[in-house]
Amino acid sequence: MRSTSYHAPFFPDGIHPIDADECARLLAIALERGGDYADLFFEYRAVGSYAFEEGILKSASKSVSLGLGVRVQLGDATGYAYTQDLAPEKMERVARIAGQIARQASPAVPPQPLTISTLPERYALSTCLLDEPGTKKRALLASACNTVLSIDPRIIKAEAGLTEAVREILVASSAGAFARDVQPMVRIGVRAIVEHEGKRRVGSSGGGGRTDLGYFDDHPIEAHAERAARQAITLLDARPAPAGEFDVVLAPGDSGILLHEAVGHGLEADFNRKGTSRYADRIGEKVASDLCTVVDDATLERGRGSVNVDDEGVVPTRVNLIESGTLRGYMHDRHSARHYGLEPTGNGRRESFASHPMPRMTNTYLLAGQDDPDDIVRSVSRGIYAKSFGGGQVDISNGDFVFSLTESYLIEDGKLTAPLTDVNLIGNGPEVLRRVNRLGHDFKVADGVWTCGKEGQSVPVGVGCPTVKIAGITVGGTRME
């Protein structure tokens, strides 16, 4: 974002200015006891949130955080310390604390001169959403709720929420990186609650990304409201899900979250470096159906997981993970890349200045095939059509997963018939990729709602996929077929 009204927070009145000279001084302090590598991560974050229901704005809040994290590495050992106080003596203190990891070491690897990085503009905006009047945001949420309530008299409640954020980072490293980025984020959510003949169902819709209110030009808030209402009303007629093994067809877009969880985490290099991933030491081996090509791509225009630079100062590119079923690589941060003797891929991410970086996904997706999506559904005599996903659990070491579906349908004789409730998909990520036997040409990136957790840290991510047919997944339902 190149805002006309947003001012860099690292130069406010009364705070010691942070520039290349100051960063070089702090890096030298961090490495004064020895060490292989050191970096500084400055972060400013402002977040606003709004919740609207029952005809009124129920809550509005804003929070601001500012701080510095310092990391020093010696071999596989890492020292990390952080502060919320950017006074020179406080920054020096955390630099020395992080550097204590190397107190038994030989002399440090000398820091390289800092070079200002030239970054791409994957989410350049003219204004900051936080600068927009609150009345605009309230009106947006009111319109969503009014639309939901107008659709059907059985809808008893409508809720809408908006979260807006701007994050500015400055990364400086002993490898010579010096990069600053300003990262916007918007997320909208709408819920509809319907009640009829003793049944209560909930429908939802959401989206966003690294954008501003212009998002709603292409994604009208009313469309989200209608989608949430339609889902809730449809679920009133849902029947209990069958149980057993069925062919499953994944809808394009949001279904990519199954790929993200069941396969993506196993391709993050730290799990492979430690030997805890099922994909460890398998580069060049067949790990999926020939139809499957999986990438992680931080370069998508305004994608929720997109970044101009990662949290270690590396400019990311698209990472080819699985190509035509063959494992080609992992997602690396600096630590894992050094272990493998490779260049980092720009997947070093962290939740905040108080967190250390690790390999994380950005936008992870399965590329399109050549099949007609309708033909894929018609090829299933009896199965499950998975349209929307809820929560799930995955064992990284073996890829076993359980996912709940928030919207799904029975497929009978090649047609979508009854909506289903209480559907769980149970399987193994690598095995599921081997069972992919049809891929649609309708690739879609999901609208931006997903947040990924790992080791207590959460970061925004994107997912995507075309229509996918999987030959046999265990469905946990309420009645056997």
The answer to whether the beta carbons of residues 20 and 172 sit under 8 Å apart is yes
The answer to whether the beta carbons of residues 186 and 164 sit under 8 Å apart is yes
Q: Indicate if 183 and 218 belong to the same structural domain.
A: yes
Q: Say if 8 falls within a structural domain.
A: no
Residue 337: is its pLDDT beyond 90?
A: yes
Q: Indicate if 70 and 191 belong to the same structural domain.
A: yes
Last residue of a domain, one of 187, 215, 235: 235
Last residue of a domain, one of 235, 259, 274: 235
Q: Bridge-partner residues for 164, per DSSP? A: 48, 186
Q: What is the pLDDT of residue 130?
A: 85
Q: Say if 11 falls within a structural domain.
A: no
Q: Say if 115 falls within a structural domain.
A: yes
Q: Indicate if 211 and 70 belong to the same structural domain.
A: yes
Q: Say if 322 falls within a structural domain.
A: yes
Within the chain, how many helices (H) and strands (E) appear?
A: 10, 26
Q: Indicate if 223 and 335 belong to the same structural domain.
A: no
Last residue of a domain, one of 191, 212, 235: 235
Q: Say if 12 falls within a structural domain.
A: no
Kindly state the DSSP code that residue 110 receives in the 8-state scheme: P
Strands (E), 348-461: 348-349, 358-359, 363-366, 382-394, 400-412, 415-421, 423-428, 436-439, 444-445, 451-454, 457-460
Q: Indicate if 282 and 230 belong to the same structural domain.
A: no
pLDDT tens-digit map of 414-453: 999 999 998 999 999 999 999 999 999 999 999 999 999 9
Q: Indicate if 69 and 197 belong to the same structural domain.
A: yes
pLDDT tens-digit map of 246-297: 999 999 999 999 999 889 999 999 999 999 999 999 999 999 999 999 999 9
Please state, in angstroms and rounded to a whole number, the distance separating the CA atoms of residues 383 and 217: 37
Q: Say if 422 falls within a structural domain.
A: yes
What's 189's domain CATH number? 3.30.2290.10
Q: Indicate if 76 and 167 belong to the same structural domain.
A: yes
Q: Indicate if 116 and 197 belong to the same structural domain.
A: yes
Instruction: Tell me the mean pLDDT in the region 151-164.
Output: 97
Q: Say if 13 falls within a structural domain.
A: no
Q: What is the pLDDT of residue 4?
A: 32
Q: Indicate if 329 and 444 belong to the same structural domain.
A: yes
Please state, in angstroms and rounded to a whole number, the distance separating the CA atoms of residues 213 and 217: 8
Give the containing element (helix H, strand E) for 178.
strand 177-196
Q: Say if 208 falls within a structural domain.
A: yes
Q: The domain containing residue 326 runs over which residues?
A: 240-480
Q: Indicate if 185 and 277 belong to the same structural domain.
A: no
Q: Indicate if 251 and 374 belong to the same structural domain.
A: yes
Domain count, the chain: 2
Please state, in angstroms and rounded to a whole number, the distance separating the CA atoms of residues 82 and 77: 17
pLDDT tens-digit map of 74-129: 988 999 999 999 999 999 999 999 999 887 655 667 889 999 999 999 998 877 77
Q: Indicate if 457 and 408 belong to the same structural domain.
A: yes
